[in-house]
Amino acid sequence: MTDFKDKRVLVVEDDYFIAMELCRNLEAAGAEVVGPVGRVGEALAQIARSDGLDGALLDLNLHGAMAFPVADKLCERGVPFVFATGYDGSVIPERYREVPRCRKPVELQSISTVLFD
């Protein structure tokens, strides 16, 4: 899988084991991983100090806080992202209805198609 080659991908995930697996898989696919971060404030700080993000994987619930401020900031910066979550679409505000959502466990091939095609 070369779709992630030389791409800078932010991983926002609060489950340590899921985050580490995502990072390993992304790096194996050629991505430069930014993060992982597991809290809304950490994610916002990471976005603020990271230029040139090519995409992001965003867990919807981060230690009990919904990640919509992170999604807002990614949209503001023009960074494509996917929600990686077990939640159904009913909890996602209308402004994000078009944002792709993938169920965990995340399959990188489907994400690369959404982010980079």
Using DSSP, state whether 35 is helix, strand or coil. strand
The number of folded domains in the chain is 1
Is there a cis peptide before residue 105, judged by omega within 30 degrees of 0? yes
Residue-level pLDDT at 105? 75
Q: For 38-70, what is each residue's pLDDT tens digit? A: 999 999 999 999 988 999 999 999 999 999 999
Let me know if residue 5 belongs to a domain.
Answer: yes
Residue 25 lies in a domain: yes
Structure pTM?
0.91
The residue-averaged pLDDT of 3-11 equals 91
CATH no. for residue 16?
3.40.50.2300
Does residue 75 contact residue 45 with C-beta atoms inside 8 Å?
no
Q: Which residue has the tokens 């800078």?
A: 8
Residue 30's domain comprises 1-86
pLDDT at 110: 72
pLDDT > 60? residue 1: no
Q: Is residue 40 part of a domain?
A: yes
Residue with the larger pLDDT of the pair 26 and 89: 26
